[in-house]
């Protein structure tokens, strides 16, 4: 937790104190007590969810909560100019993938179905809204960011690609990561991009064709076949090395 | 397992058959029986450890082994022009980190001590030579590569940096990933590089100074703080996007 993310409900009524004051409890409190071991007067790095980043000075601490005097003064890092279309990872990888994508600055993420996504993956309890939100928060805390990603689930490949994707990808460069192609993934693209990444084993040819029909260009990452969890940071770093 | 890696001991005596024939057993056999479900006559992608890649045609199969007629015809992917100096990850991350680094094409890897590496990490059973070798093999199988990385352990930071590192890093670009610096990590460097990556929490200032004394330049990856497992593919993709 490199950043303590505050939500509006953490703040005391603005009328009560001239300077904003917030109290953290639960998981964040435990972390500050056990890892930071912050004392009264110490400053912690804090950010307001979907807002600015700054410091929180410890005013009071006990087992029930830590009360912080909040001063926010800088914007969060800029979002990647990217919409990520990702075949739903298996449950074991789902949490980690969401955390990594969020830490890397992805702000729009569609988890979609694909032939090689097992039906059972869609039953994962980790797909519940509050669980996904928690993984996004962990990614933001890690990366020192406050901007919550938008995350959407789409359980049917064809209607998504045919009916929704053209509007989602409008006015953007459209790429699909696909090991079996001759075109290398571009470097430092500096343009709004929509990137589709398949499941382990890749999109099947039919799916790649459907994506091509709506303007997606298959690109590869070199001779090595990477797991999705490795391919994702490699792709994003390659497309947006300076972000 | 995108590649079945053969070792010299898998081959039958060259005199016995005019075309090379190898028999796989154990973990590779289980994988082929359960995942590939290869039948007699099918071709599997195989490679000789530290050698070429090609096909293995199934001659015989039973529960004890699968015998393949081997034809090798292409070189493995080129290695990254990189020596990686990595603070020993915690045991939970160690296996995954070795697999990822191997899959990404790292061929020289030093796991070193650092102030923020807990002493207990050096007691991990996963540091045994055969365990490390197994993780490297898994990375090679994933990436479709055959060149085994060289992996070295160094339990003392200062003697390693002062006495060994100057020779290891000779004639290479020397970079240390460090979030607290103004210099961004270069992109597409196209030169032999020695890259030092700290533990979670980073190298301490003393360690960064010691690395600077032997010519390492601190570079950052942008405003986001990434976990080592995410930072590593990001760094390698940024330094060597075309490899």
B138 lies in the same domain as B168 = yes
Cα–Cα distance, B205 to B114 (Å, whole number): 11
Whether the Cβ atoms of residue B202 and residue B178 lie closer than 8 Å to each other? yes
Question: Which portions of chain A are predicted below pLDDT 70?
Answer: 13-18, 243
B64 by Cβ neighbours in 10 Å (0-12 / 13-18 / 19+) ranks as exposed
Which of B74, B109, B134 is at the close of a domain?
A: B74
Bridge partner list, B174: B194
A88 lies in the same domain as A201 = yes
Domain, as residue range, for B57: 4-74
Q: What is the dihedral of CA A115, A121, A122, A125, to 10 degrees?
A: -170
B188 lies in the same domain as B220 = yes
A63 lies in the same domain as A155 = no
B104–A224: do the CB atoms touch at under 8 Å?
A: yes
Whether the Cβ atoms of residue B230 and residue A233 lie closer than 8 Å to each other? yes
Q: What is the tens place of the pLDDT at every residue in B155-170?
A: 999 999 999 999 999 9
Cα–Cα distance, A152 to A129 (Å, whole number): 10
Q: What is the tens place of the pLDDT at every residue in B52-71?
A: 999 999 999 988 899 999 99
A222–B145: do the CB atoms touch at under 8 Å?
A: no
Q: What is the tens place of the pLDDT at every residue in A138-167?
A: 999 999 999 999 999 999 999 999 999 999
H helices of chain B, in order, are 26-31, 91-103, 129-143, 157-159, 165-168, 205-213, 228-239
Cα–Cα distance, A29 to B98 (Å, whole number): 34
Count of structural domains, chain A:
2
Instruction: Give the DSSP per-residue string, A200-224.
Output: TT---HHHHHHHHHTTPEEEB--SS
Q: What is the tens place of the pLDDT at every residue in A7-16?
A: 999 998 665 5
B51 lies in the same domain as B109 = no
A234–B234: do the CB atoms touch at under 8 Å?
A: yes
B90 lies in the same domain as B64 = no
CATH no. for residue B231? 3.40.1280.10
Is the pLDDT higher at B222 or at B208? B208
Which of B74, B98, B113 is at the close of a domain?
A: B74
Residue listed under structure tokens 């292409």: B74
Cα–Cα distance, B141 to B47 (Å, whole number): 9
Pull the structure tokens for residue A13.
């009524």
Task: Suggest the residue from A144, A187, A225, A235 to mutate for an interface test with chain B (most B CBs closer than 10 A).
Answer: A225
Q: Tell me, what's the ipTM?
A: 0.91
């Amino acid at each position: 937790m490199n950043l303590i993310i505050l939500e509006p409900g953490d703040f005391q009524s603005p009328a009560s104190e001239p300077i904003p004051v917030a109290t953290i409890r639960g998981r964040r409190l435990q972390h500050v007590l056990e890892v930071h071991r912050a004392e009264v007067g110490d400053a912690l790095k804090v950010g307001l969810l979907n807002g600015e980043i700054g410091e929180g000075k410890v005013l009071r601490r006990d087992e029930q909560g830590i009360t912080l005097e909040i001063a926010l003064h800088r914007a969060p890092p800029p979002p990647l100019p990217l919409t990520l279309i990702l075949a739903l990872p298996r449950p074991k990888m789902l949490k980690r993938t969401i955390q990594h994508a969020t830490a890397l600055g992805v702000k729009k993420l569609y988890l979609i179905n694909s032939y090689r996504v097992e039906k059972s993956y869609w039953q994962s309890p980790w797909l519940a809204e509050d669980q996904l939100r928690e993984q996004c928060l962990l990614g933001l805390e890690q990366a020192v960011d406050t901007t919550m990603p938008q995350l959407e689930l789409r359980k049917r490949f064809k209607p998504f690609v045919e009916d929704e994707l053209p509007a989602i990808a409008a006015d953007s460069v459209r790429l699909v990561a696909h090991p079996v192609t001759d075109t290398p993934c571009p470097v430092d693209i500096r343009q709004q991009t929509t990137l589709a990444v398949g499941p382990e084993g890749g999109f099947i040819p039919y799916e790649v064709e459907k994506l091509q029909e709506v303007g997606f260009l298959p690109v590869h990452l070199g001779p090595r076949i990477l797991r999705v969890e490795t391919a994702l940071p490699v792709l994003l770093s390659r497309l947006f090395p300076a972000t």
